[in-house]
C-alpha cells in the first residue's frame, strides 16, 4: 500500500484574497496567521495563500477556494486544539516536551500531528 502527500497540485492556480467581512473574521479567529500581525495578515494573507496553494489546489475538482476555507473552518471547529491542550493540562506560556503535546492531540484526532516550532517570526 503506497501513499503520498498531496501538495502543490496546481502551481498555476490563482489565490483570490478573502474579502473583508464575516469569512475573513472567521478565518482570523480560527486560523490566525501567527507569523504576522493581524493587519499585515489580513492585507496580504500570506498564510492562507500558502495553505490554499499547497493543499487546496489538490481538491479543486471537488471544492473551490471559498468551499476549501469553509471546510477548514468546520474542521477547526470540530477539533478545537487549544481546548484539547487545556484539557490535558497544557496552557500557553509554559514549556512542554513535544511528546506531551503530540499525545494530547492524538487522543482526539487519532493521528500524529505535524508540529513545527517557529523562532524569530517576522511581522510581530
Task: Tell me the average pLDDT across 7-30.
Answer: 93
pTM of the predicted protein model = 0.69
Look over the chain and give the mean of its residue pLDDT values, rounded to a whole number: 87
Per residue in 26-81, pLDDT (tens digit) is 999 888 888 888 899 999 999 999 999 999 999 989 999 999 999 999 988 888 88
What are the grid coordinates assigned to 30, written together? 480560527
pLDDT the model gives residue 2: 52
Q: In this prediction, what percent of the chain has a pLDDT beyond 70?
A: 90
pLDDT the model gives residue 83: 86
Amino acid at each position: 500500500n503506497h501513499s503520498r502527500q498531496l501538495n502543490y497540485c496546481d502551481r498555476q492556480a490563482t489565490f483570490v484574497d478573502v474579502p473583508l467581512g464575516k469569512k475573513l473574521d472567521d478565518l482570523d479567529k480560527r486560523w490566525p496567521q501567527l507569523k504576522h500581525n493581524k493587519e499585515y495578515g489580513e492585507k496580504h494573507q500570506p498564510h492562507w495563500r500558502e495553505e490554499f496553494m499547497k493543499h487546496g489546489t489538490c481538491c479543486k475538482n471537488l471544492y473551490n477556494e471559498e468551499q476549501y476555507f469553509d471546510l477548514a473552518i468546520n474542521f477547526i471547529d470540530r477539533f478545537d486544539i487549544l481546548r484539547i491542550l487545556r484539557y490535558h493540562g497544557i496552557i500557553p506560556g509554559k514549556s512542554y516536551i513535544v511528546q506531551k503535546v503530540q499525545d494530547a492531540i492524538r487522543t482526539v484526532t487519532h493521528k500524529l500531528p505535524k508540529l513545527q516550532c517557529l523562532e524569530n517570526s517576522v511581522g510581530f
